[in-house]
């Protein structure tokens, strides 16, 4: 069983325990991820990630709220919060706390595979959520997109496997991502961004995800035509994610 299948097995067990009756409404207005990423220069979605299957512990005992504040000060356009606990060391309370601490959009990054997770996402104050095509069939993906739209949430549709390209192109989501990390093996290939950019919908905001470490990497994906980059591991591994982001952004200006 590959890593993605292991994660999805655990996620299904977690979803069985979700009690929708305990969810309340969100506080305040949703902050638009689309607007935040619609800038002439490349935008950065800075990620809070405590651990991962490929890296193990990344930044033990980190303070997610402080990191979020520093990301915003450094110039992040949005923040992504890993809420999976078993494999990525996150939780939904971190999502809520981060959203309260910053004024930019906050994305819930998790393996969203069931409609129960949408009201859960709203309850914990996310502005947008991630949908991973590699973890869903087309019908389920479409249902979750419809559920997100009905709830007023924005979403980032990402994929890695080329088999999804035609369907995603027809789907034409407002925000689409290519993950250069193979979720079955957890290996990255930066040049995969170049291979996949021709298959992305023309009008979508295009996000490059994973494997990005340097200002040269950012320039490379920007020159390819990506509008934004989602960066997490390389920032967190420095031990001072906010400062690392500040340096990265300064180098590309």
| Catalytic residue chosen out of the listed positions 52, 182, 204, 210 | 210
Catalytic one of 47, 72, 120, 154: 47
Which letter does DSSP use for residue 30 in this model? P
What are the backbone angles phi and psi of residue 229, rounded to the nearest 5°?
A: -130, 135
Alpha helices by DSSP H, listed for the chain, are 3-16, 33-37, 64-74, 92-101, 117-123, 138-151, 165-171, 192-196, 215-224, 233-236, 241-252
Retrieve residue 171's tokens: 């789907």
187 vs 141: CA distance, rounded Å: 24
Active-site option among 11, 51, 52, 109: 109
Q: Which one of the listed residues 158, 182, 206, 234 is annotated catalytic?
A: 158
* CA–CA distances in Å: residue 121 to residues 65, 148, 167: 18, 10, 25
Positive or negative, the CA dihedral 45, 149, 139, 113 is positive
57 catalytic residue (yes or no) = no
Q: Any catalytic annotation for residue 179?
A: yes
Active site residue 158: yes
d(CA 59, CA 84): 16
Say whether 2 is catalytic: no
Give catalytic status of residue 34 as yes or no.
no
Catalytic residue of the set 70, 120, 154, 209: 209
Q: Which two tokens stand for residue 31?
A: 């902050």
For the chain, counts of helices (H) and of strands (E): 11, 10
The tokens of 136 are what?
Answer: 């869903």
Count of alpha carbons within 13 Å of 71, Cβ hemisphere only?
33
Q: φ and ψ at 200, to 5 degrees?
A: -85, 145
Active-site residue set: 47, 49, 109, 158, 179, 209-210
């Amino acid at each position: 069983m590959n890593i993605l299948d292991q994660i999805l097995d655990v996620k299904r067990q977690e979803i069985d325990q979700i009690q929708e009756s305990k969810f309340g409404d969100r506080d305040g207005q949703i902050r638009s991820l689309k607007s935040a990423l619609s800038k002439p220069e490349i935008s950065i979605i800075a990620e809070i990630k405590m651990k991962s299957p490929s890296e193990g512990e990344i930044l033990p005992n980190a303070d997610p709220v402080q990191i979020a504040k520093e990301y915003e000060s450094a110039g992040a356009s949005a923040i992504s919060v890993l809420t999976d606990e078993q494999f990525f060391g996150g939780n939904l309370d971190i999502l809520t706390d981060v959203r309260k601490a910053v004024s930019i959009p906050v994305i819930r990054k998790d393996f969203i595979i069931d409609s129960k997770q949408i009201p859960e996402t709203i309850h914990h104050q996310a502005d947008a959520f991630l949908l991973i095509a590699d973890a869903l069939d087309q019908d389920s993906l479409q249902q979750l997109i419809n559920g997100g739209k009905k709830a007023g949430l924005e979403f980032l549709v990402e994929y890695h496997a080329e088999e999804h390209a035609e369907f995603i192109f027809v789907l034409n989501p407002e925000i689409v991502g290519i993950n250069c990390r193979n979720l079955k093996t957890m290996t990255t290939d930066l040049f995969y961004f170049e291979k996949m950019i021709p298959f992305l919908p023309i009008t979508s905001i295009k996000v490059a995800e994973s494997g990005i470490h340097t200002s040269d990497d950012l320039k490379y994906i920007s020159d390819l035509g990506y509008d934004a980059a989602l960066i997490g591991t390389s920032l967190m591994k420095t031990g001072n994610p906010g400062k690392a982001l500040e340096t990265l952004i300064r180098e590309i200006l």
